């Protein structure tokens, strides 16, 4: 990801702002805060991984590990916040849907008690379809990395 110094355009988001950008709620909301967001460029978010997460009951008893698909979902949610904030759509109800996931690599297990740092940047951005590169790190070591594509969609009509 990008190791540029923070710019004046950097934004932080608390959980309320994250929830304004995403429709996800417990137990599927996988972002606790945004440490840095540069619109149209990149985001750094954090997931505090707790032993109280429901998935640890069965994945795996005696050796709790955060499922890889949830690590990818956390990266996708960070990308969703980046896209919604970059396009000025927070609070609009717009949804960000996965279209593809490419080149996923799981490098290190994610266990309870860690802060999972989620770094995502735009590779390509259009009005409704965006491509991202993401990595999740633990103390600077890559746990998960991938590229993925998502589309901005209207919420379902009632």
The pLDDT tens digits for 23-61 are 999 999 999 999 999 999 999 999 999 999 999 999 999
* pLDDT per residue as tens digits for the range 55-77: 999 999 999 999 999 999 999 99
pTM of this structure: 0.92
Residue written as token pair 């989620």: 118
Cα→Cα distances 25→53, 60, 135, Å: 13, 24, 22
Q: Does a structural domain hold residue 28? A: yes
pLDDT > 90? residue 91: no
Residue 114: domain span: 11-153
Q: Does a structural domain hold residue 121? A: yes
Q: Does a structural domain hold residue 4? A: no
The answer to whether 101 and 146 are in contact (CB under 8 A) is yes
Catalytic residue among 59, 67, 73, 90: 59
Q: β-pairing, 141-153 with 129-138?
A: antiparallel
Instruction: Please tell me the predicted confidence (pLDDT) of residue 9.
Output: 66
Residues 138-148, mean pLDDT to the nearest whole number? 98
Q: Is 59 one of the catalytic residues?
A: yes
Percentage of residues in the chain with pLDDT exceeding 70? Answer: 94
Enumerate the β-bridge partners of residue 44.
Answer: 36, 119
Q: Does a structural domain hold residue 5? A: no
Q: Does a structural domain hold residue 35? A: yes
Per the structure, the count of domains in the chain is 1
Q: Does a structural domain hold residue 2? A: no
Percentage of residues in the chain with pLDDT exceeding 90? Answer: 85
pLDDT > 50? residue 155: yes
pLDDT > 80? residue 158: no
Q: Does a structural domain hold residue 1? A: no
Instruction: Please tell me the predicted confidence (pLDDT) of residue 55.
Output: 95
Report CA dihedral (95, 78, 11, 34) to the nearest 10 degrees: 120
Q: How confident is the model at residue 127 (pLDDT cuts 50, 70, 90)?
A: confident
């Amino acid at each position: 990801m990008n190791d540029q110094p923070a710019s004046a355009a950097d934004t932080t988001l608390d959980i309320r702002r994250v929830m304004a950008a995403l429709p996800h709620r417990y137990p599927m909301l996988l972002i606790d805060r945004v440490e840095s967001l540069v619109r149209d460029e990149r985001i750094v978010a954090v997931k505090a991984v707790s032993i109280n997460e429901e998935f640890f009951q069965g994945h795996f008893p005696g050796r709790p590990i955060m499922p890889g698909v949830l690590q990818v979902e956390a990266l996708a949610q960070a990308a969703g916040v980046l896209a919604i904030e970059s396009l000025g759509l927070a609070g609009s109800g717009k949804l960000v849907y996965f279209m593809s996931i490419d080149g996923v690599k799981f490098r290190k297990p994610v266990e309870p008690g860690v802060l999972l740092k989620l770094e995502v940047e735009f590779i390509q951005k259009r009005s409704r379809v965006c491509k991202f590169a993401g990595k999740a790190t633990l103390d600077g070591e890559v746990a998960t990395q991938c590229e993925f594509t998502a589309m901005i969609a209207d919420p379902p009509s009632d």
